[in-house]
Amino acid sequence: MLLAPALAIYTLFAIWPLIDVFILSFQDWNGINENREWVGLRNYYHILYNDPVFWVAFRNTVIWTIMSVIFPPVLGLFLALGLNQNLIGRAPLRAIYYLPVIIAPIAVATMWRWMYDPFFGLFTQLLTNAGLAQLIPDWLGDKDVALYSIFVAYVWQSVGFSMVLFLAGLQSVDRSLIDAARIDGANRRKIFEHVTLPALRPTITIVLVLSTISSLKAFDIVYGMTGGGPAQSTQMLALWAFTQSMEIFNYGRGSAVSVVLLTITLAIVVPYMSWSQRREEDAQ
C-alpha cells in the first residue's frame, strides 16, 4: 500500500511516454497543433510501403546489430581475459579501456569526426605517412564506407562495457576448477573451453542482450558523426524515428518507427533470454 504513490509516479514518468508513443503512432500530429488526428494504420502503411529511407535504416540497423553482437563482446572478452592475468599495470589498463564508456556519445562522435577528417584527420595522416595515400577512403563521406567507419567508433566506445561485465564474470570462475583441469591434463584452450566458458554463460547472455538493445538504440553516435548521411546511407531506425519527429515534425510516423523498433527489440531479446534461461536450467 505504501508503494502505491511511488508506483503511480513511476507509471506516470516511465510507462506513460511509452503509451503515448504507441497512441501517437496511430495519429497525425506535427508537435505543435492541439489536435491529434486519428489516422489508424496509415503511419505504419506509409513507413513500410512508401518510405525507402525506412528500409535503408532497417537494413543498416540489422547490419549494425549483427556486428554489434559480434565485435564488441568478442573483443571485450579477449581484453577481459588478458586483463584478468596477473600483470603489472592491469588496474590502470582496465580503467583506460573502460574510459570511453563513460564519455558522452556525442563527444565520442565529435572526436572521431576529427580523426576521420579527410585532410587533417589522424587516419588520413597515418596512411599518408605510410605511403598509402591512394588507399585513403573518404571515411564518412563515402556511402559504402561511412557506416563501417561509424561502427569502428562505436566499438571503441562500447568494448569497455563488455569488458567490465566479462571481468566481473571471470571473478566467478572457480580457481579450484582450473586446478582440477590442469591436473586432468587440460591445456589453456581446454581450460577455457571446459571451465572458463561454462562459468561465463550467464555473463554472455547478459552481454549479448545488452549489446543487442544498445545497438538497436544506436542513435547519438550516428547523429553526431553523419546525421544519417551521406544520402541516408547511415540512417538507422532509432535515428529515423528521431528525424521524423524532431526535424520533419511528423510525430505520428516517428512514433510508428519507434514502435516497430521496440517490437523488433522484444522479438529478439525475449526469445533469446527464455532460451538461454532454459539452457541454464538444463545445465544444472
Partner 1 sequence: MATVEIDNLHKSYGALQVVHGVSMSFQDGEFIILVGPSGCGKSTLLRMIAGLEEITAGTVSIDGTVVNNLSPKERNIAMVFQNYALYPQMTVAQNMGFSLELSKIPKAQITAMVKETAEILGLTPLLDRKPSQLSGGQRQRVAMGRAIVRDPEVFLFDEPLSNLDANLRVKMRAEIKALHQRLGSTIVYVTHDQVEAMTMADRIVVLRAGRVEQIGTPLELYDNPQNMFVAGFLGSPAMNFLAGRLAVDGSPSLVLESGETVALARRPDVGAERDVVLGVRPQDISLDPTDGTAAVVKVIEPTGADTHVLAELAGQDVTCVLSERLDLKVGDEIRLSFKTPAAHFFDLKTEARLSAGN
Per CB under 8 A, residues contacting partner 1 are: 174, 176-177, 179-186, 190, 194-195, 198, 283-284
CB of 83 to partner 1, least distance (A): 21
CB of 175 to partner 1, least distance (A): 9
CB of 174 to partner 1, least distance (A): 7
CB nearer to partner 1: pick between 45 and 188: 188
Angle at 159 between CA 240 and CA 277, to 5 degrees: 85
CB nearer to partner 1: pick between 140 and 195: 195
CB nearer to partner 1: pick between 122 and 180: 180
DSSP string, 170-236: HHTS-HHHHHHHHHTT--HHHHIIIIIHHHHHHHHHHHHHHHHHHHHT--HHHHHHTTT-STTTT--
CB nearer to partner 1: pick between 171 and 176: 176
DSSP string, 91-138: HHHHHHHHHHHHS-HHHHHHHHHHHT-TTT-HHHHHHHHTT-GGG---
Q: Say if CB 65 and CB 209 are below 8 A apart.
A: no
CB of 162 to partner 1, least distance (A): 22
Whole-number Å distance between alpha carbons of 282 and 276: 10
CB nearer to partner 1: pick between 186 and 209: 186
CB of 36 to partner 1, least distance (A): 54
